Amino acid sequence: MMECLHDDESLRAMVLELRRRYEPCKVQGKPLKFLFRPPPGGIVGEFAIRDSCALVVVYHSPSSVRTSFQLFCTFTHELGHWCSWRDGTRTSEYEAAHSAYGAAVRDSDGSEEVMPAVPEATRLIIFEEEVRAWTHGYLLAQEVGFIDAPAYETEALRGLAIYRQQLHISLEMRPITRICQ
């Protein structure tokens, strides 16, 4: 596990500062809300657009083995999805791809053979948004004084490796690029 230059207290302070800066924001008339709640399963966080708000959720529990650094990275990554939506790079094409992927997973029998039903272009659109969210997340982290680019990049690449596996995205399809530039 990657060590981080920042201690738990400073990471919590950075999360609070990001919340203070961004909670007052509205995009398309929707306020930004943050939730920290127990995990529903294997998911660590999510960004969702609801009728009444844009929602950044970080899932954690007191018994979790996730470190404060991992929680910080999840938080900035999910807030990075909000940045993509705010900036218009999280497009309707992405939303359609995400819905198609979700439907294929729901309709599957739980086997690994979901991906053939989801076109490569659709999977790449989803993966590209994940890369963008990590990149935005790092910029957000820097805004509040985060200085450990190697640790953040390692965590981002670990997260992207999980998406690569789930979406069957090979290195040839989408080479690894630097997140922390």
Give the closest residue to 87 by CA, choosing from 126, 119, 121, 129.
129
Q: What is the per-residue pLDDT for 111?
A: 56
Q: What is the per-residue pLDDT for 118?
A: 84
Q: What is the per-residue pLDDT for 42?
A: 76
What is the rounded CA–CA span in Å between residue 164 and residue 121? Answer: 14
What is the rounded CA–CA span in Å between residue 65 and residue 153? Answer: 20
Give 11's contacts (C-beta < 8 A, 6+ positions apart): 4, 68, 69, 71, 72
- Per-domain boundaries in the chain: 8-167
Print pLDDT tens along the chain (181 aa): 568 999 999 999 999 999 999 999 999 999 999 999 988 877 899 999 999 999 999 998 777 788 999 999 999 999 999 999 999 999 899 999 988 888 877 776 655 555 567 889 999 999 999 999 999 999 999 999 999 999 999 999 999 999 999 898 988 888 877 898 7
């039903």: which residue's tokens? Answer: 117
